[in-house]
Amino acid sequence: MKTRAVLLSRPGHARRWPAPVLCGGQALAEALLAMLALLSLWVGAAWLARYQDIALQASHASRFAAFAVTRHADARPLDDIHRHFFSGPGHRWADRRGRQILQPGRPEVRLHVDRHAHLGPQAQPGALNSQALALRPQWQIEDAGIVTAAVAVSARGGTDASHAASFMSGLRDFDLAYPRLSRHTAILAGAGHAGGDVQAQQRVASAPQAWREAAQASQSAGRQAAPVMGRVDHGWGRPPPDFDWLAPWTGAVPPQHLSSYGDMP
């Protein structure tokens, strides 16, 4: 280290005191180290952001698959998952060299569906209540077990071992394979949903305790009174009674709340 002498003058005597001066080479070395640390942090943050984004899409895909299987027991919507959650302009993940992390067709994305055993009566809506025991099968709200949909992604990174070790070669660690991730969603199947208005009406109409017995008694009384009351209502211009109390509700649900399996996003 180079130094220079500084003369300090005091009354009665003089002293030379060395004052250190940093050379330019040491400052440059420290700047390079700081730059390397910042560069590693920037590359690592981008690597982690891509991984988190892939994990988020896997979570969305598992929810989509779980709900799809509850609607159709044989559904395995892997193609829909590839198309909606791992393809398109927003899902083109690339490494720091610009190479795609997932291959075309997304073979790294896999779907596994598992259906667990039928739940016992204690775990069903209404538990062991006698009326609930009768209403559950009539309304078809008896849960048929738990459906688990798991989406696994094995994103393969690129390795390039042909390059010799260099000052920046440590960044190649971010080009290695991403850790395998898996996201799953578990949901009870048989929630009582219907595929449309007609199916919902048929289910209600066929439920003896919930609807059919009471409806038949009311319709019988109404048909007996209709001939007499019809003459009274005719004077007021009222239409004859309609004893179909379910069909008039067709289409009453707003369209934005209806969708078929094929229309699911």
The structure tokens 């971010």 sit at: 174
Average pLDDT over residues 201-227: 81
Report whether pLDDT(11) > 60. Answer: no
Angle value at C-alpha 210, between 209 and 215, nearest 5 degrees: 90
**Rama region for 76: left / alpha / beta (φ>0; ψ in -120 to 50; rest):** beta
**Residue 73 or residue 159, greater confidence:** 73
Report whether pLDDT(111) > 90. Answer: yes
146, two tokens: 């738990």
Residue % of the chain over a pLDDT of 70? 76
* CA–CA distance, 39 with 45 (Å, rounded to integer): 10
How would DSSP label each residue in 48-86? HHHHHHHHHHHHHHHHHHHHHHHH-TT---HHHHHHHHS
Q: Residue 35, CB half-sphere, CA atoms under 13 Å: how many?
A: 8
In our burial notation (b when 16+ CB lie closer than 10 A, e otherwise), range 98-132 reads: eeebbeeebebbebebeeeeebeeeebeeeeeeee
Average pLDDT over residues 229-249: 78
- Give the model's pLDDT for residue 208: 80
Report whether pLDDT(186) > 80. Answer: yes
How would DSSP label each residue in the chain? --EEEEEEEETTEEEEEEEE---HHHHHHHHHHHHHHHHHHHHHHHHHHHHHHHHHHHHHHHHHHHHHHHH-TT---HHHHHHHHS-SGGG--B-TTS-BSS-TT-TTEEEEEEEPPPPPGGGSTTTT-HHHHHHHHHHT-----EEEEEEEE-PPPP--TTSPP-TTGGGGGGGSPPPPEEEEEEEES-----SSHHHHHHHHHT-IIIIIHHHHHHHHHHHHHHHHHHHHHHHTTPPPP----SGGGTT-S-GGG---GGG--
Report whether pLDDT(161) > 50. Answer: no
Residue ranges of domains in the chain:
27-159+172-188, 197-263
Residue-wise pLDDT tens digits, 52-106: 888 999 999 999 999 888 888 888 999 999 999 998 887 788 777 777 888 888 8
Q: Is the dihedral of CA 183, 185, 186, 190 positive or negative?
A: negative
Report whether pLDDT(44) > 60. Answer: yes
